[in-house]
Amino acid sequence: SIITVILNILIGFESWLCIHYATLFFILQIGKKIFSNLKHKEMNNKKCKILFDMTPYEIISAFISGIIVMFYFINRHWILNDIICFCLAFTTLSFIVLKSFMLCFVCLFSFFLYDTFWVFFSERIFSENVMVVAATSIQVPIKIEFPILFSNSPIKNCMLLGLGDILLPGLIIKYSRRFDLISEKSEIKKRKKGMNFFEYNLLLYFISVALAMIMMFVFNHGQPVLFYISPIFIIGLMLKAYKES
């Protein structure tokens, strides 16, 4: 239908923009390593008038992005899906910034309630698990897919990690990194020995995802990762903040 075509065009364009931004970032980093500073600045400032005043780096990035999006819509391969999701997450985390720990806690608690309702209570109202159906039936790059060998997996033959399970903790981990940098430069607060907030949050995220995977196989049922991320982050951050005074 026309609506489906329009949606695919919008999804393709959004995916291309995010991949273009992410690949351009990495190409610029590679360019700094390969070329001298003078040559790198020359290539970064040189623009092609025929191609909308794009630099050589931007042309390469745009070409790679277009190839990835085109092949994704041709075969919907999980590797291409994961590349697009990674670029979406990378671009989003590059632009969005949380301003305070209170906002972090509000987001965690809100999404905890949201995930809990749609995964554990939506089946009683809509006669099917809305979150699981959406995660397994919607063929758009909104989730990371990990193929596994177990045929009796709760969600077909792959494990899924939604973008929300990456972006929300990612924003909090990003904020904690900024907090650590500010704290290290401040003469008022001297950081104690041990893990800083950034390293501590990375550990909390690893524990949360690992626990969700374990519970998925124990109960043979898809688990909302934010259901584990939110309380572990909230309790863990409170304990860490109390310890750091």
Residues whose CB is less than 8 angstroms from the CB of residue 122 and which lie 6 or more positions away in sequence, other chains included: 128, 129, 130, 131
Q: Quick one: pLDDT at residue 154?
A: 45
Q: Quick one: pLDDT at residue 37?
A: 63
Both tokens of 97, joined, read: 């910034």
Residues whose CB is less than 8 angstroms from the CB of residue 168 and which lie 6 or more positions away in sequence, other chains included: 107, 108, 111, 226, 229
Residues whose CB is less than 8 angstroms from the CB of residue 240 and which lie 6 or more positions away in sequence, other chains included: 197, 200
Give the residue ranges of the chain where pLDDT is below 70: 1, 35-53, 135-136, 148-158, 186-193
Q: Quick one: pLDDT at residue 59?
A: 84
Please count the residues of the chain: 245
Q: Quick one: pLDDT at residue 70?
A: 92
Closest by Cα among 89, 113, 91, 81 to 170 = 89
Q: Quick one: pLDDT at residue 207?
A: 93
44, 30 contact by CB (below 8 A): no
Q: Quick one: pLDDT at residue 244?
A: 78
Q: Quick one: pLDDT at residue 221?
A: 72
Q: Quick one: pLDDT at residue 65?
A: 92
